[in-house]
Amino acid sequence: MTRTTQRIIEANGIRINIAERGEGPLVLLVHGFPETWYSWRHQIEDLAAAGFRVVAPDMRGYGKSDAPQAIDQYTILHLVGDMVGILDALGAPTAVIVGHDWGASVAWQAALTRPDRFRAIVALSVPFRPRAKAVPTSLMPRTETAQFYQLYFQEPGPADAELGRDPRATIRNMLFGASGDGVAAARAAAAAGGPAPNLGMVPKGGGFLQGPGAPATLPSWISESDIDYYSEEFKRTGFRGALNYYRNIDRNWEITGALAGLQVSIPALYIAGDRDFLLSFPGTDQLLANQKNFVPGLRKIQMLPGCGHWTQQERPGEVSAALVDFIRALPNRS
């Protein structure tokens, strides 16, 4: 079997780096924050071995892909346009799209708006959210002493500087902190009398990176060499492009009014870890309970016990197996 290779393609007016491997029906893997194509390293190998052509881009603003300077070049329509542009550049009429975190949001919108190009969707961590009834940042939690982390990310500058001060420590601590291992450690510390987990809140005048950080020895699912790969990418690019996704949350709401009420009609699978911090956000339990109302093609909700936010990295074998089973069961595989 061929190895995973990388190359630059032109798509949607920018240069996008893609990792690719295998032959067969196309599967497009879309990463989240703060990662790169590398978050899919296990699935790329497993899906290619199962008979699929697998393509995982560095999203705009990440890795070796272009990072436009203007904040308004990171709207959800740009991101979905990039995915369609990748299919066009590859000469592929359709693909199964798989997304994690921000990549899941992109995948949901791609499935919603272009079912002619995306024949099925798998979303990891982030469920489908119908368009909010008000500007999203107005609905985010804030108190006199703290604000939701996505509010902290809104202002250009502070978060960019904090995350970029030591990219290796940032990646190492974030990957551990939001993992199933990190959540278990935080819960154990709280039970022993330590501070309660912050559930995504940033203290006023404080920073996003809190807590004791990752231990000296990492969990088995992530290695120091994996951390090295990510940190070298972010040392070169900084975090501005990645943070610009958050700075378009309200703009995305403003430009997608025509999509309100639409349902995701294509076959869908949702996978999440039961320790994913996103599941603790207010209303998420009701959203999952009613997911079939917005995604009538939903085949299954698969919860992974003990798994945190980094689904495909923490549980590579289980995620790969679920993807292969789901895709093989679809009609018209070619």
Beta bridge partners of 53: 26
- DSSP three-state, residue 208: coil
* Number of neighbouring beta carbons within 10 Å of residue 297: 16
Query: Which pLDDT score is estimated for 333?
Result: 55
- Give the chain's domains with CATH numbers: 5-328 (3.40.50.1820)
* Number of neighbouring beta carbons within 10 Å of residue 131: 14
- Type of residue at 110: A
Q: What share of the chain is helix, strand, coil (3-state, %, to 5)?
A: 45, 15, 40
Residue from 245, 125, 227, 95 nearest 170 by CA:
227
Positions annotated as catalytic residues are 101, 309
Round to whole Å and give the CA distance between 16 and 12. Answer: 9
Tens-level pLDDT at each residue, the chain (334 residues): 579 999 999 999 999 999 999 999 999 999 999 999 999 999 999 999 999 999 999 999 999 999 999 999 999 999 999 999 999 999 999 999 999 999 999 999 999 999 999 999 999 999 999 999 999 999 999 999 999 999 999 999 999 999 999 999 999 999 999 999 999 999 998 888 877 667 789 998 889 998 788 999 999 999 999 999 999 999 999 999 999 999 999 999 999 999 999 999 999 999 999 999 999 988 899 999 999 999 999 999 999 999 999 999 999 999 999 999 999 999 865 4
Residue 190 dihedral angles phi and psi, to the nearest 5°: -65, -40
Q: In this structure, what is the dihedral angle of CA atoms 15, 52, 272, 263, given to the nearest 10 degrees? A: 80
HSE-up (13 A, CA, CB side) for residue 213 = 9
H and E: helices and strands count for the chain: 14, 10
Greatest extent of the chain over all pairs of C-alpha atoms, in Å: 58
Put simply, whether the predicted model's pTM sits higher than 0.95 gets the answer yes
Round to whole Å and give the CA distance between 79 and 316. Answer: 25
Q: Are 309 and 273 in contact (CB under 8 A)?
A: yes
Round to whole Å and give the CA distance between 97 and 28. Answer: 5
Strands 14-21 and 5-11: antiparallel
At a CB cut-off of 8 Å and minimum separation 6, what does 320 contact? 42, 43, 46, 47
Q: What are the tokens at 47?
A: 């899906």
Round to whole Å and give the CA distance between 14 and 8. Answer: 10
Residue from 88, 66, 61, 75 nearest 8 by CA:
66
Is the four-CA dihedral 41, 43, 98, 48 of positive or negative sign? positive
Instruction: Summarize pLDDT for 239-297 with one digit per residue, the tens.
Output: 999 999 999 999 999 999 999 999 999 999 999 999 999 999 888 999 999 999 999 99
